Chain A
């Protein structure tokens, strides 16, 4: 494991529902214009999207890419995996380090119960088989941020194996169909994190902070069932949501709580797998997709030009949008795995095998943990569809944007309006404003964290539009700092529902609310006099005068052009400053015309 570089890289953005332009294996067209090799519309798990080469050649070869991911998620716990020092994101250097973490002689590892429970919960949520007996091993390599010279991990017999992760990919004409795909999980293991290295190139030295050394990690190894950046990103996003729902990890990529390494190779379908490269330094879901697609294309180009792929480690450079070889890796590493001599096997129990009279603190019951599993994202989505009659893709969006689901549920609680109306307003209007604003500051991370928008070029814009706020927990943004609170939106929707205002007026009110002037919807409506005209008589008069003022249009109508009425309706609406219900206007006009 090469040094995790502590250069301050830009924060990535949160991946919504995989609506990627360019580089997407599910939608790309063959550049030469020949019949596309892409799977369009429905695709199944078995079909592998295929790539064509960039340069047109005679008799194009089809390429298939194979992507395997190794995901490290920092366990959300108070103390570290084998020691009692604190787990915290920021603290003075080396202040959260115990003698064991510093690898002083005479210290021994003591396993943290919470970490084991977290591993079991995650394994159960990912449909894994939980090994009732698992073992710890030492993985040896030398690096300054690994004071012991080895990492305690679970190589021979990990805690969970053979699971699956189901994720949904956007497809179809308007990217509105959800296609479920599954990636198999090879194993989940407990292991220690290393410290952090800060490279000081100026003085040719490295500064080591061991605060992170010894923090518990869950390594989730995915089988190479993925075939492009989009699939990988969506799968990782789903895993992130699951971990967050379980509470086993906050899985925040920007804070390094979720790290992904990708193993990528290409081959012609039917032929053996190609040489793979490992890509590291992927610290946002967006870059994960970019890096994988870049690397796939690089390998294809290299092989098409008669070159060969070296089995090496490459680092993704987000500014250049490319992967580069990490030359400081000395050939193939021999980790000299050996059993951890200081730790006996980890034994887990279930309801049937639980020893009688055992100290509950000292035993872990898999069945008990299974019963306490919270609702997983896929179940939440199903429930939203059933309960509120929304489309599946809406449920994906609600869950994908951090804090949005809670916002939505708070609005539902306080409003009389129909759930479908709430869904539409939250997902279209509210989310639309959030995206438009290109929110630059996240409440949680403080003021010096910023997203990529400021750095991206114009060509990136379509990509950027597909993503929303940055890859940190912005619930604080939506909850506390959001210009429109759930109560305000609820009140607005009530006004709409009770037909006090028209929907056009409601949009105006919303815009006013967004300005954060502290007024309630009711206040804005009365200030701007946006109430719907209740006086039918006055409306009838207005319609009458409008009809007199535009005899041409009336003639058109009488001649049999039904669409001319829309012009009249528009004129009346303008005259009423959108304070009349268009349906009522239409009704009055039609009555007058027929009389």
Chain B
């Protein structure tokens, strides 16, 4: 497995982003492509900083895949483990709020009782600009 990773690592800086399967194959080897990693990183803002992280992800998927061994034909899927509980309905009264000072303490920067954020979303650096590390 390591030799394979090294091989792909060499390919990555050349812009070779094709994995050998198009997506994480549910039935098969569970290989995650560089495209998928990049997509996940952008969506979840998680930094798969090393190939160990990717390997762990693959193992996690393989672990979850074992659920497929269960025969669920004709069984209605659950929505959540709470689905039999009663959803509590709160009456429409104002009971919270008025704690701006406390909340603003959590912010790194504050301007006149507003939280300060950078303008718009900061786009992630592109793959070429990043330090290339071997995606599997």
The chain A residues found within 8 Å of chain B, CB to CB, are 3, 77-79, 83-86, 92-100, 102, 104, 110-116, 135, 140, 142-144, 197-201, 204-210, 328, 330, 334, 336, 339-347, 361-362, 364
Contact = CB atoms under 8 A, between A and B. Distances in A.
15 contacts: A77-B92, A86-B97, A94-B103, A98-B99, A104-B106, A110-B90, A142-B45, A204-B118, A205-B116, A206-B116, A207-B111, A207-B116, A210-B103, A330-B121, A343-B82
A135 to B, nearest CB: 6
A541 to B, nearest CB: 74
A135 B79 CA distance: 8
Given A95-B98, A344-B85, A361 B111 contact: no
Nearest to A145: B117
A112 B90 contact: yes
Q: For chain B, what secondary structure do more than half of its interface residues adopt (helix, strand, loop), or is it mixed?
A: loop
Given A79-B95, A97-B103, A210 B79 contact: no
A339 B78 CA distance: 10
A334 B114 contact: no
B100 A344 contact: no
Contacts of A104: 103, 106
Nearest to A96: B97
Scoring B88, B94, B106, B113 by chain A CB atoms within 10 A of each residue's CB, the highest score goes to: B94
A269 B26 CA distance: 42
B80 A78 contact: no
Q: For chain A, what secondary structure do more than half of its interface residues adopt (helix, strand, loop), or is it mixed?
A: loop
B109 to A, nearest CB: 8
B82 to A, nearest CB: 4
A158 to B, nearest CB: 14
B83 interface: yes
A52 to B, nearest CB: 40
A93 B87 contact: no
B1 interface: no
Nearest to B98: A95
Contact of A209 (B80, B97, B114): B114
B43 interface: yes
A346 B43 contact: no
Contact of A344 (B86, B92, B114): B86
Contacts of B84: 344
B122 to A, nearest CB: 10
9 smallest beta-carbon distances between A and B, as pairs: A144-B117, A114-B92, A98-B96, A207-B114, A85-B97, A84-B95, A113-B89, A208-B115, A84-B96
A362 B97 contact: no
Contacts of B106: 102, 104
A576 B99 CA distance: 73
Contacts of A77: 92
Contacts of B92: 77-79, 112-115
B27 interface: no
A98 B95 CA distance: 9
Contact of B115 (A78, A135, A207): A207
Contact of B39 (A92, A96, A102, A334): A334
Given A92-B100, A94-B100, A97-B99, A79 B93 contact: yes
